[in-house]
Amino acid sequence: MRLVFTFGLLWMPLDLTAAMESTLPEIPNEFVDIQQVIPNIILDVRYFTADNFVGEQFDGYDAAKVYLTIAGADALRLVQLELNDYGLGLKVFDGYRPQMAVDHFVRWAKDLSDIKMKQRYYPSVEKKNLFRDGYIASRSGHSRGSTIDLTLVSLNSGQELDMGTRWDFFDLKSWPSSTDVGAQQRANRLLLRGVMINNGFRPLEEEWWHFTLVDEPFPDRYFNFPIQ
């Protein structure tokens, strides 16, 4: 939309759309779209869709992209190269997460009446206990830009390796050490864990898919620019 304002004899065109876009926070120079660094990586950005534990697109996810710090993306590229030698690759669900999305999580968790995704994502957990049990928090390491959620896929078929649970499944079965999943599923988790550790990432004991760069460049800073 373009409006024209008159000040005496002076006509001043104003493009409101361009003006609004110019106010959006820019992507910091220290961040990169991981597909620009790892071209053959597979993305499945569920927070851009309704297929997630909330059942709607999250605030701040305006594109099906994944950003990481440059250091995180470089380390992840080495993981992908190592896996490619064995006919495997990575599928990434989430990387950098804007603080506005975390705030969206928190608002949803406080609405105890909204349980439409319970059977798919947290069947054994009462929603009122999500904060207490550590599944939802007001701060996330993802917002620091060097944490990644991912799994392994076959390069030939593109199919995910069986990890025993889906991503973002709130349950003790999602712990990497769980013995409630089969031997092959545990082996697949160990394979993912091993290759990530070997390339500079540390795992999370409660989620088989979650890893953070050991030497993350922003250990105390939480970003809030949108993914676009």
Which residue range forms the structural domain that includes residue 127? Answer: 30-213
Give ∠ CA 147-149-152 in degrees, rounded to 5.
130
Residue 104 is labelled as binding a ligand? no
Q: What is the pTM of this model?
A: 0.88
Percent of the residues in the chain that have a pLDDT greater than 70, as a whole number: 89
Has residue 164 been placed in a domain? Answer: yes
In a domain, 19, yes or no: no
Is residue 47 one of the residues assigned to a domain? Answer: yes
- CA angle 66-171-224, nearest 5°? 30
Instruction: Check pLDDT > 60 for residue 129.
Output: yes
Is residue 3 over pLDDT 50? no
Using 50, 70 and 90 to split pLDDT, how confident is the model at 12? very low
DSSP state, residue 224: -
H or E segment and range at residue 77: helix 70-84
Q: What pLDDT is attached to residue 24? A: 53
Residue 105 lies in a domain: yes
pLDDT tops 50 at residue 39: yes
Distance CA 74, CA 152 (A): 18
Give residue 26's pLDDT: 83
Q: Is residue 198, in this structure, part of any structural domain at all?
A: yes
Residue 36 in any domain: the answer is yes
Residues involved in catalysis:
207
The answer to the question of residue 228 being in a domain is no
Higher pLDDT, 3 or 192: 192
DSSP class of 49? S
Alpha carbons 106 and 39: distance in angstroms, whole number: 34
Contact call for residues 148 and 112 (beta carbons, < 8 A): no
Q: What is the CATH number of the domain that holds 48?
A: 3.30.1380.10
In a domain, 103, yes or no: yes
